[in-house]
Structure 1
Amino acid sequence: MRRGEAFHVRTGPPESEYRAAQAAQVARDAEEEEAAPPTPVVLPGDALWPAFSRAYPGVRWRTLAGKSREGIADGLAAVAIAMVSPDAPERPAPLDVRAVMRWIVVPDHTPDDLSAELLPVWEWLEKNALPVSALEDPAVAREVRYRVTYKLDGGPAGAETVKRRRRALQGAVAYAREIGALTGDPFA
């Protein structure tokens, strides 16, 4: 106490004790966050693509590196553009669909957090999305392959981007088989 140390103005203890208490609280919070497993999302056997895209990353999110998380978000977003009913009315811009999907696949994000401009896109996706089992339709699988390998402007995507998207798609297909939404690998 006699070290000539400043006191924290609002709480009263010396600054060193205040900082030590804060560091201990941060460490406790981090331990609790890591110890608590994510709540598993139970999907129906034939879930729609947006619901599946929200559930799948939650299974793996805690163990993934940042670039892997980005790859999953980008891959699932690219696939989402193809996983829409062909006769869906008033399609939103693919750029908006991608933005919504990249946001919504993060487990901590909810549709309520979407901006006012993107919330209608999410609602449209929920109404017009295809079920995961539609991947077994060859026409849908072709469109998915196209969306994984090309950019929104129609030009070919870079090799690394395609690798990341394919990796995300293969992981999603494996998870879909695990939960019974697919009977086989439509891309094998």
Structure 2
Amino acid sequence: MQLEVVLGDITEQQVDAVVNAANSSLLGGAGVDGAIHRRGGPEILADCRRLRAEAYQNGLPAGQAVATTAGLLPATWVIHTVGPVYSEREDRSAILRSCYRESLRVAGELGARSIAFPLISAGAYRWPVRHALEIAIGELRAAGRQGGLGAARLVLWQPQTLALAQDVLAADAGPAPGTA
């Protein structure tokens, strides 16, 4: 799987599936969630309401993922996942990792060949950006080694986050072959 890290707007990504950093209600919110619902139109909300009525009456638990139509977005599906709120007292990184794994699992079940992710939990849920990047890049690289999807894109909103992501990518790659 090809991993790409870009500066951009998640709602403009031309991929098979766009991941929404949703809240557990699945009914829209602020940040990425609000942008996806606004730009995608009422079809996304209608699908989310159906999911709430049928399978997720208490909301989507953190770390899980579910798909809906993409409505007016230039994608086929939106995969909604609920990231954990950051806590200094409790390590919730396994839940954040699960957001990426579960989203990739759902994408595979849908037959998606390309997927775009926002940086889950790094906004309103206050996850430290560098750590969120390390988790995202680590999970996407691990999935890439297993095959399946053709391309994964991490879409970042701010230039300073992109610069930090490039540092994480370089550090994660380790030394070049033949160097110590």
Does the pair score TM above 0.5? no
Which structure would you say has the larger Rg?
1
The structure richer in strand per residue is 2
The structure richer in helix per residue is 1
Higher RCO structure (Cα 8 Å, ≥6 apart):
2
- Alignment TM-score, normalising by the size of structure 1: 0.23
